[in-house]
Structure 1
Amino acid sequence: MNSLDQAEDLKAFERRLTEYIACLQPATGRWRMILIVVSVCTASGAWNWLIDPETQKVSFFISFRNHTLLTIRCITLISLFFAGIHRRVVAPSMHSSIVFVRLKVLQLLQLLTPTLILLFFGFYLFCVPALAPFLDTVHAV
């Protein structure tokens, strides 16, 4: 495969990766908005819970029962994280970083392959003949 074919393959792969990440962007944007809205609502409810003078006078569970919206928002936020919203929010960057790392490993292997082949043949040409007398005695026994 010549360098022109490799360049065309790389451009096609890059276009396909860009299309795939662009396809993920609308869904990722929606999940980010959901996470932002629920997080802001939970933070505002937590602020109201903290500044409430009744919170210091009653037990922890009773104060959560008195602030039902905060309880619902906390449960919603925890449920979203258990459902995997953190993976959906960072999906495009996660996919692109995985592909980037794998391409770097592939590039490294392509660079090292001729060196490894030369090392293998060098070992075979120089070390195996030197070990031949020992190998013959082992097989003869």
Structure 2
Amino acid sequence: MLSCDVCKTELLEGTEAASQMRCIPCGEGRSISRDAEQNIRRFKKVLDLKNTRLDRLMDTATFADYAITAAVWDLDPRFRSRHLNVGTSTGVVRVIKERGAIEVVYPLAYDEDDVVLKRATQVILAALEGGALTEQLAIS
């Protein structure tokens, strides 16, 4: 893992900061904290529950497959208090219509504690009970 020569902040490979071996604040000569632990920036990807889509992939008489697509956010290496949208994560679930059960076909990456999966499951089951498994379902 690459880190800044001055403050030991983790650096993303392939960035200009990584080629200089200096994080952006150290490269710009900004002051850093005297507490070394505060100067270390870590990256932690999380999913955005509010920015999640449910799209039907397949629908048969016995089951329906839905893709769950959520935005992925990570800590912005340039600023301590900001986050950066770094992409999306997609998982697939299968709804067994007869039993009202949901099976995970492909899990969502970065979904700690299955928060997005649980919410998507609630939305899909509510739509199934209402008899409206539409092309797209909204998570609100």
Q: Which has the larger radius of gyration?
A: 1
Shorter-chain TM-score range: under 0.3
Which structure is higher in RCO with an 8 Å CA cutoff and minimum separation 6?
A: 1
In proportion to residue count, which structure has more helix?
A: 1
TM-score by length of 2: 0.22
In proportion to residue count, which structure has more strand?
A: 2
TM-score by length of 1: 0.22
